[in-house]
Each structure stands twice: as C-alpha cells, then as structure tokens.
Amino acid sequence: MELHLALAQISTSLGTLRPNLEKHLRFIRQARTAGADLVLFPELSLTGYVLQDLVPTVACRPTESDPVFGELLAASKDIDVVVGFVEEDQRNRFYISAAYLSKRQVRHVHRKVYLPTYGLFDEGRFFAWGDHVRAFDTRFGRAGLLICEDFWHASPPYLLWLDGADLLLFMSASPGRGVGGGATLESAWWVEQVNQSYASLFTSFVAHTNKVGFEDGLNFWGGSTVFDPNGHCLARAPYHEETLKLVTLDLNQLRRTRARLPLLRDERTALVQRELQRILAQPDRTTHLG
Amino acid sequence: MTDLLRIDAELVRTILVSFIRQEITRAGLTRAVVGLSGGLDSAVSCMLSAQALGPHNVLALMMPHRTSSPDSLADAQRVVEQTGVRHDTVEITAMVEPLFERFPAAQARRRGNAMARERMIVLYDQSADFGGLVVGTGNKTEILLGYTTLYGDSACAINPLGDLYKTQVLELARALGVPDSIQKKPPSADLWKGQTDEGELGYTYAEVDRLLYLLVDERYSPQECVAAGFAAKFVRSVTERVRLNQFKRVLPPIAKLSNRTVGYDFLYLRDWGT
C-alpha cells in the first residue's frame, strides 16, 4: 500500500488565527489536488510559536463547534490532516497540541509532553505538560504523533513504537542555530541524525515537518524530511523556504526491512520493564536520575 | 582555536538577508536606512540590506563630523558605488557644535557620545522620511564589551550582525566582497583623531573573540579559560567588563508595583500580530 504524504512546510503569522487558518485551507487544497492522502503541518501551525502572553488568546478546542476546527474538519473530508494548535482544556490549562483529522473526525490529539524551558525556550512558563504517549489507528496503519522536544528524548518514540506505531509523525517549530559546522545549520544536522536513528532503530517510517520564517530574531529552518524503515532519506524539503513537499511512502517496505532486520520482533519489553522498575526503585536513585 | 569562530558565510548570508527582508516587510514596510560610516560592520549591514530589499529600497546615510577621517567617507562611497544603494551625506558638525560650545569642558568621550547620538537622531528622522526601518550594525563583540554608545550607534529597529563576533563579521565581509580597503583598515569608531577600537580596548579582536566565544557560547568558567591558556588578568578584565555593561543590553528596570508589569510579566515579541 502507498501513502502519499505532503509535508506542509509553512511560515505563520504570530498570534493571529484567521490568516493562518486560511493558509492551512490553501495548502490542504493544494495537497489534495496533488494527490496526497495525508498532509502534515508544523508545531503550532495555527498560531505561531513564540506566543508568550498570547497563548490564551489563540486557544482552540479540537471539536466541530470550534470556529477554527469546524473548517479544518470540513477540509479533512478527502484528505487526512495533522495540525498544530494551542489547546485549552475544560479547566483552562493550555497545551501545545497536535490533532489528526480524518473524514471529518478528530482521530487523535497529542499534547506535547516535554516542554523545553531553558536557554531561549520558555514553554513551561505558558503551557501545561501533556501526560500521554499513545499510538492510534489510521487508514494507513498505526501511527504516533510527537512535537519537537518530545522526540529530543528517546522515550516517547520508543513508547510509540512499543504501542504499535509504524509511522511516526513529527512536527516542530525549531529555531535554527549553529553556523560553524558547514553549509547546514547545526540544529538541522542534529535533528536529521536523530530522525534517521529512530527510523533505523525502530524500522519504521519517520516523517517530520518543521516550520519556516522568522519570529523576531529566531529563524525557523524547514528542512522537513521523511526517513524509511532502512534509515534512508526519502525526501528533504529545502531549508528556510515555504513549500509543500510531496513524498510517496511504500508501506510494504516495513515488511521487507523487518524480515531482514527483526529488531522489533526481538525487543525484550519484559526485560525493559523489569530493569526500569529496579532502577526506579533504588533508594539512592536521585543521584542517577531525575 | 580560531576554528571555533569559523562560520559558513553563505549560510549566514542566506539567513541574514531573509531576516532583514522578513522583519521589514512584516512591519508593513519595504525599505531600510543604514548609517554608513566607512567601517566594516556598516558596510556588511548595507550590503545585506541591499540584497534583501533591492538597492533602490536602501538609503545609506554618511554623517561625517569635521574631525572624521577623510578615508571614512571615501570608503563609504566605495560601498555605495558597489551596491548601488541610494545615499545622502549629512554633516553633523553644526548639529553638535552648539552643545560643545555650551559645555566646552566636555572631554573626547562626551563629544564622541554626542556625535554617536546625533547620528542616531539623523537616522531615525530620515527613516521616517524615507519610510524604512533603521538596520543596525552592532556586532556581538562590541555588544558584550559594551563598546557602544547607549542610544547612539546601538539604536536600531533590527540588528542582523548582533550574533556575530567581529572576527566573524570580517569573514562574512570577505565572502560578500566588501572593498579591500575596508577589510584591511584597523577598526575605529572615528570619534577622535587616531582612535582605534583595539587601542581603546587594550587587546585585539582576534584575542578577545576567542575568549568571549569560550566564556559566552561555551559557558566556560573564568578558571577554565585560564586553563585553556588565557592570561588570568585578561580573563578577569573581560569578564568584569561584560558584567558591568549589562545595563546597555537591557531596558531600564521599571519598579514593580502592580500584578502585571512591562518588562516582567507583560510578554510579547516585537513581531506580535504579524
């Protein structure tokens, strides 16, 4: 089976839903016309990234009755859509969230579980931490959604893999840094390495859409990629340019790779659980772990 | 050691050109104004602005004082000719002389600061007339060392060079084809005769950039810098200078009285809503 994937590598305006929503609808239409089955937007694609005190003003609920999601759900009739947004829950907590929309339904919502709050990042000041890492079923198989810092830790992709995800869908708003390492930004090189490693170690597909554009002095570097279960790069979108990148995934590659390299089959989950329990139960564990 | 300061000039150029273009157009404008001194930093800013917006959308202002070196003006002219930017020469002598006549005891430093601030006044005034944003020229070395005039040469709307050490600006200048005479001459604020940056600082940019890179970018402690081969006195002097000049890098503190105070918990980017 083939999955025609579109990476919507877009720039956004900061703190204004309507112009961003209009861009989403345009890119969704374009992706559908180009024959895509699924279109993947970046982190906080509906709002922009460095929101700070704007967070409460741009929050949405992923439901039919929400003015923004109402239109997105309609647009998901003939193509699956993954969008980034600020989610407000019943008790007025705000999350960096991603929603998978298919056939006018919200199939899955992921709330970012790792919020970088160091250096230039200040997410923990404005957002609540998500509490779940769950794979979910799509018409292309079982998938997982992660947002930026979530895949800067090995644990969430590993959990998604164990929960059955063969297609890892990553989204980010990654600021570019490191200009001393050659023609590629150091941050781009790092993320590509990491994505390639996950694809290789988990013998799964890893697709990643990163945003482009600027917010004050922060540049967002794009460079969205898809890696296959062999760890080969199927596509890379240009750096720093807004674009819709189309990639065809041959899902049968999962079977071929796993026949050659059965890392998934051989993963000893009971051992992992046993050793993790031992490590976490140690009385002096705070010297080793958080 | 110098490898640590290496930059990929083409990557930097791409990002900075895009930065200037996007930050100006999102503000609803299409033009830029740059104070062109004849020095390295402003030459680079001017060239990047011309690439970002088109030379006809950039106004380079030369603002000599009667004590300025004639080489400065000649070098600025070279940049104008090379880029094709619009330009104007506004002599500031008659604008600052009344202040110096009123306070004749003012030493060179005060006069230099007044000249730098007068240039800021001209830039901002002309930017309103031209319909553009003032593009800054401050580099990371001078910002960290506070080798700037507060509300003078450090005043601008956006700063493309503020994350490049002087040594790195030179590397970028080389790649951009900044005129040779500008690349080769000793950096100087040209605020009094014979003034040079390195003469005033007491060390070269090559030395201090290597140290600042370790201290700031790599978060070395002063002791670790000494272990890396820098003289203890030099390390002490530079770390103190960086600390003492933090006031030039932040907004003046507002005394907090309410539950929500500008500068503390009223947090929005400059790009808010764009």
Q: Do A240 and B8 touch (CB under 8 A)?
A: no
Domain A2-264 has CATH 3.60.110.10: yes
The alpha-carbon gap from B125 to the nearest alpha carbon of chain A, in Å, equals: 23
Q: Which residues from A are below 8 Å from B265, CB to CB?
A: 53
Q: Report, in angstroms and rounded to the nearest whole number, the Rg of chain A calculated over CA atoms.
A: 19
- In this prediction, residue B81 carries a pLDDT of 98
| pLDDT, tens only, A188-211 | 999 999 999 999 999 999 999 999
Write out the H or E segment, with its range, that includes residue B87. Answer: strand B86-89
Give Cβ neighbours of residue B187 (< 8 Å, ≥ 6 apart).
B39, B40, B166, B196, B197, B198, B205
Nearest CA in chain B to A57: B273
- Cα separation, A208 vs A204, in Å, equals 13
Please, what's the b/e burial string for A142-155 (b: 16 or more CB within 10 A of its CB; e: otherwise)? ebbbbbbbbbeeee
Could you state, in order of their start, the residue ranges of all structural domains in chain B?
2-202
Please indicate if any CB of chain B lies within 8 Å of the CB of A53.
Answer: yes
Q: Which residues from B are below 8 Å from A184, CB to CB?
A: 11
B2-202 CATH fold: Rossmann fold (3.40.50)
- In this prediction, residue B1 carries a pLDDT of 44
The alpha-carbon gap from A111 to the nearest alpha carbon of chain B, in Å, equals: 23
Nearest CA in chain B to A20: B274
End-to-end CA distance of chain B: 41
Q: Do B5 and A180 touch (CB under 8 A)?
A: yes
Place A286 in a pLDDT band, splitting at 50, 70 and 90. low
Nearest CA in chain A to B6: A180
End-to-end CA distance of chain A: 43
| Option in A54, A183, A214 nearest B268 (CB) | A54
Percent of chain A with pLDDT over 90: 96
| CB-based contact A5:A37 (threshold 8 Å) | yes
Residue A288 has pLDDT above 80, yes or no: no
| Option in B18, B158, B269 nearest A215 (CB) | B269
- Cα separation, B121 vs B127, in Å, equals 10
Computed over every residue of chain A, the mean pLDDT equals 97
Q: Chain B: which residues have CB within 8 Å of chain A?
A: 4-8, 10-12, 14-15, 18-19, 22-23, 26, 158-159, 162-163, 265-274
Give Cβ neighbours of residue A142 (< 8 Å, ≥ 6 apart).
A135, A136, A163, A164, A165, A166, A167
Amino acid at the residue A251: L
- Cα separation, A271 vs A276, in Å, equals 8
Q: Do A184 and B163 touch (CB under 8 A)?
A: no
Place A181 in a pLDDT band, splitting at 50, 70 and 90. confident
Can you read off the two tokens belonging to residue A162?
């164990």
Q: What is the pLDDT along chain B (274 residues), one digit of tens a residue?
A: 458 999 999 999 999 999 999 999 999 999 999 999 999 999 999 999 999 999 999 999 999 999 999 999 999 999 999 999 999 999 999 999 999 999 999 999 999 999 999 999 999 999 999 999 999 999 999 999 999 999 999 999 999 999 999 999 999 999 999 999 999 999 988 888 888 898 888 899 999 999 999 999 999 999 999 999 999 999 999 999 999 999 999 999 999 999 999 999 999 999 999 9
- In this prediction, residue A287 carries a pLDDT of 64
Please indicate if any CB of chain B lies within 8 Å of the CB of A52.
Answer: yes
Amino acid at the residue A131: D
Give Cβ neighbours of residue B121 (< 8 Å, ≥ 6 apart).
B95
- Outline where DSSP puts E strands in B100-247: 132-134
Q: Report, in angstroms and rounded to the nearest whole number, the Rg of chain B calculated over CA atoms.
A: 19
- Cα A6 versus chain centre, distance: 13
